[in-house]
Chain A
Amino acid sequence: MTRHLLKLVWNRKRSNALMILETCVSFLVVFAVATLGLFFLDNYRQPLGFEWKDVWAVGIGRGQSAEEASKAELDAQRATFERLQQEVRSLGPVEAAAGSAVIPFDQGGMSSSYTIDGKDVRMDIDVAGEGFDKVMGLRMVAGRWFEKGDGGQGWNPVVIDRDLARTVYGSADPVGKSFGKADPEELPMRVIGVVNDFRKAGELMPNGNFMFQLQRQGVMNGRVPSHLMVRVRPGTSPEFEEALVKRMQEVAPDWSFEVRPLSQVRTSSFRFFLTPLIVAGTVAFFLLLMVGLGLIGVLWQNLLQRTREIGLRRAAGASRAAVHRQVILEQLLLTTLGVSIGTLLVIQVPILDLISVLSRPVFASGLALALAVIYLISMLCVLYPSMLAARVQPADALRYE
């Protein structure tokens, strides 16, 4: 039966080749959109590692980049920042406040790669102050967060997240161990604590290596953090924002402050990631609709061309169901050929590790979803034409001649 079908398909190879190509390209389109969607969904289900509700990020503009400030200017800036932090912490609705170089959910960020035991380890970095763990609701897995008086002992303390600990130290306890090889110009780093996870890029992006450095003199050219993260009491009215900015403006009249609740940053981050997916999904939907309609037309026309062949089969005693089955099986065969080529192509992604953030399960479910969609469309499209084909009477075949 299969051999016979293959022969039938081969006999009409030129028009079938186009159908196979079309199926293959459609499959690739569905696969790309489905995998991206599933990638986001899979990430969304993982723990975030911090709590964003009631946290405000106050951006600090100093009107001057730290790279070009003199040492005396930097010292003055640091002193001002300390005063600001004290002042903000003393305000009633504020539960905790700490400096941070990056904002969770924000697109900007810092990353670096260190050579550790001969292998390159890439990680995202934040430079944060003491109290940042309380602001963000971080959970320590081992060791502790930065405290007053840390640093200045001839090494720089760092806190790493569980991913990074696993990557670098395997199952060993990282606390107290030195981290990476010391740059001759910088102090060596030593791990003092491990946090659960810290997915700075938010729910939609995968978990990755993360390291916190203590914000202090000597790190990042001793620049003042660009943000003050503030945790306010639940239910604090937005009007407090005005009082907060006014207070900060009094302490540092030369600086600019911009308050953004993390919930707002989170919303725009979701929009940033999901808009392309929605646009791609909409376009893909219309492409598939177009392909589906086209398929119906082409199949219909093909069967019309084969009226004699089908009529002959009917005359020779084939039942309607048999004709029905033949048409559907032929289409199944064509679809299978198309998606096989497509699968061969996309399977290169995990084999060659082209997109390293794509986990095997996400890839596999994307593949399965794409296969299901393509087979479904293909079957839906063949339904009507095959019904027409089954209706062909033996007499039609004779008349056609």
Chain B
Amino acid sequence: MIKNYFKVALKVLGRRKFFTFISLFGISITLLVLLVATAMLDYVFAARTPEVHADRMLGVYDLSMEGDGNIWGSPPGYAFLERTVRPLEKLPNVERISYVTGGITVASYLNGRKIESTLRRTDGDFWRVLGFDFLEGGPFTVADNENGRFVAVINETTRKRFFEGRPAVGRTIEADGQRFRVVGVVRDVPVLRYGSSADLWVPVTSAKTSAYKQEWMGNFYALILARSRADLPAIKAEFQSRLREAEKQLPDPKNYKKLVTGADTLFEGAARLFIPARATVNPANRLRAVLLVLMLGFMLLPTINLVNINLSRILDRASEIGVRRAFGASSRTLVGQFLVENVVLTLIGAAIGLALAAAVLRAFNVSGLIPHTQFQLNFRIFLYGLAIALFFGLFSGVYPAWRMSKLHPVQALRGRSA
């Protein structure tokens, strides 16, 4: 039966070429926009180098101190992390903990040329919590950091800028008035990986002063690698209880009384950055809701458009429907048939949309608008696209199908709409 529907569907599409064209145009443009957006979100949040263990990794990316009418938000400081995150290391389900600063823009001057780089300071465990692709050399070690050695891991772009792409290990690089010996070169990390991307990574202890050690609010992130995904809820809960402990020893208890943050997955962390922290709401759910509303809002106009076109197509086929009804096809059969037709149409449109999305993403990558980014389509995005297309097809097909099934056989045979 379904096979028959498919055949009819394809025949119908071939019959009115102009209608087929405008339907497909609408569907593929809609799917194109949604797929590009999905690919970008996927790129930011999915497990990918260097966050290869993203599914069992948590991060503390933000801290908000709240008091009566005062809110002070910033990345956490070193002292705060030592108090709340470091003790988690003793938990059996925590494999490793690392601190890394936010990216700092630093300048280097090379033969009268200025080179701007993003620098992060971090520790030796950073390289084991995350998985970088080393092109040459290797990471600096825990000992390098503890002994305050001036060593650096650089990315491919930095090697190109400073050393014209020639092997860099063992050579010296100057940034922000400090000199570092290069120990490793890694493949570029897109700036969208907000917890790890940089041009240069150097030890925490190379900071110009040690004032950071006293800070509750500062510019540090903590990364927590769990043994398995199942351990995450327990670690999150443990971190929250550490927060409650820390609230008893706040540096400025007169103005600030509460600490709000969480040990977050990449998605939750981004949600916390976009949506101002409040103790009562779950930022991840809020971000999900915002994304869903945006998607539905965007789909509104294409849906109305498609419904409108579908209605016209149906009326065009009134006599065919009349014949089918006269020979006893039930309303349900007709609704089913039309929905299948519409879904077939949507899927064809989605396939075109997918091809267009691939082209648009390629153009994005070539343009270099977002540095080091290589957006691409993958199986997961394909599945998302399929889901969106099915939803779109059913959504825009239900009302016309219902209208169709309501056509009176006699009226329909005469070729008139109700």
Residues of A within 8 A of B (CB): 14-15, 18-19, 21-22, 25-26, 29, 61-65, 67-69, 238-239, 241-242, 245-246, 249, 253-259, 283, 286-287, 289-291, 293-294, 296-298, 300-302, 304-305
Contact = CB atoms under 8 A, between A and B. Distances in A.
Interface pairs A-B: 7 shortest CB-CB: A64-B211, A301-B312, A242-B109, A293-B22, A290-B26, A294-B305, A63-B209
A294 B21 CA distance: 10
24 contacts: A14-B403, A15-B312, A22-B305, A25-B304, A64-B209, A64-B212, A65-B215, A238-B114, A241-B114, A242-B114, A253-B177, A254-B208, A258-B105, A287-B302, A290-B25, A290-B29, A290-B302, A293-B21, A294-B22, A294-B308, A298-B309, A298-B311, A301-B312, A301-B315
B25 A283 contact: no
A200 to B, nearest CB: 21
Nearest to B108: A242
Given A15-B311, A68-B251, A297-B22, A254 B109 contact: no
Interface in B15-60: 18-19, 21-22, 25-26, 29-30, 33
B417 A305 contact: yes
Interface of B: 18-19, 21-22, 25-26, 29-30, 33, 77, 104-107, 109, 112, 114, 176-177, 207-209, 211-212, 214-218, 251-252, 298, 300-302, 304-309, 311-313, 315-316, 403, 417
A63 B112 CA distance: 27
A283 B33 contact: yes
Given A64-B209, A305-B315, A25 B301 contact: yes
A239 B114 CA distance: 8
B218 to A, nearest CB: 7
Contacts of B104: 61, 256
B322 to A, nearest CB: 15
Given A67-B217, A256-B176, A21 B208 contact: no
Contact of B308 (A18, A241, A259): A18
A257 B114 CA distance: 13
A119 to B, nearest CB: 19
B34 to A, nearest CB: 11
B22 A255 contact: no
Given A241-B114, A242-B114, A290-B25, A63 B312 contact: no
A296 B208 CA distance: 68
Contacts of A301: 19, 312-313, 315-316
Contacts of B217: 65, 67-68
A287 B301 CA distance: 7
Contacts of A69: 211
A298 B308 contact: yes
Given A291-B301, A294-B305, A297-B309, A286 B208 contact: no
B300 A63 contact: no
A283 B294 CA distance: 13
A21 B106 CA distance: 54
B395 to A, nearest CB: 14
A293 B417 CA distance: 23
B106, B304, B315, B417 — most chain A CB neighbours (10 Å): B304
Contact of A242 (B112, B298, B301): B112
B356 to A, nearest CB: 11
Interface of A is mostly: helix
A172 to B, nearest CB: 32
Contacts, number: 123
A249 B177 contact: yes
A286 B32 CA distance: 11
Given A29-B301, A258-B106, A294-B305, 19 more contacts: A67-B217, A68-B215, A68-B217, A68-B251, A241-B109, A241-B114, A242-B114, A246-B177, A253-B208, A256-B208, A257-B176, A286-B29, A287-B301, A290-B30, A290-B302, A291-B305, A297-B19, A298-B309, A300-B18
Contacts of A19: 308
Contacts of B207: 63
A293 B301 contact: no
Nearest to B72: A67
B208 A68 contact: no
Contacts of B307: 18
A302 B114 CA distance: 65
B26 A258 contact: no
B106 A68 contact: no
Nearest to A304: B316
A80 to B, nearest CB: 12
Contacts of B21: 293
Contacts of A245: 107, 109, 177
Contacts of B300: 25
A253 B176 CA distance: 10
Nearest to B304: A22
A259 B207 CA distance: 19
A93 B31 CA distance: 56
Contact of A254 (B209, B212, B313, B316): B209
Contacts of A18: 304, 307-308, 311
Contacts of B114: 238, 241-242
A22 B209 contact: no
B208 A63 contact: yes
A109 to B, nearest CB: 15
Contact of A256 (B29, B33, B177, B302): B177
A63 B177 CA distance: 14
A254 B177 CA distance: 10
A290 B28 CA distance: 10
B107 A22 contact: no
Q: Which of B22, B25, B212, B300 has the most CB of A within 10 A?
A: B22
A239 B112 contact: yes
Contacts of A257: 107, 176-177
Nearest to B27: A290
A22 B311 CA distance: 14
Contacts of B106: 256, 258
Nearest to A15: B311
Nearest to A271: B369
Contacts of B30: 290
Contacts of A298: 308-309, 311-312
Contacts of A242: 109, 112, 114
Contact of B214 (A68, A255, A258): A68
Contacts of A68: 214-217, 251
B104, B301, B311, B417: residue with the most chain A Cβ atoms closer than 10 Å: B301
A296 B304 contact: no
Nearest to A250: B177
Contacts of B29: 286-287, 289-290
Contacts of B301: 22, 25-26, 29, 287, 290-291
Pick from B312, B313, B403, B417 the residue with the most CB of A within 10 Å: B312
A61 B307 CA distance: 58
Nearest to B298: A283
A249 B177 CA distance: 7
A283 B45 CA distance: 24
A382 to B, nearest CB: 15
A29 B304 CA distance: 14
Contacts of B302: 287, 290
A396 B26 CA distance: 33
A303 B309 CA distance: 14
A25 B299 CA distance: 11
A21 to B, nearest CB: 6
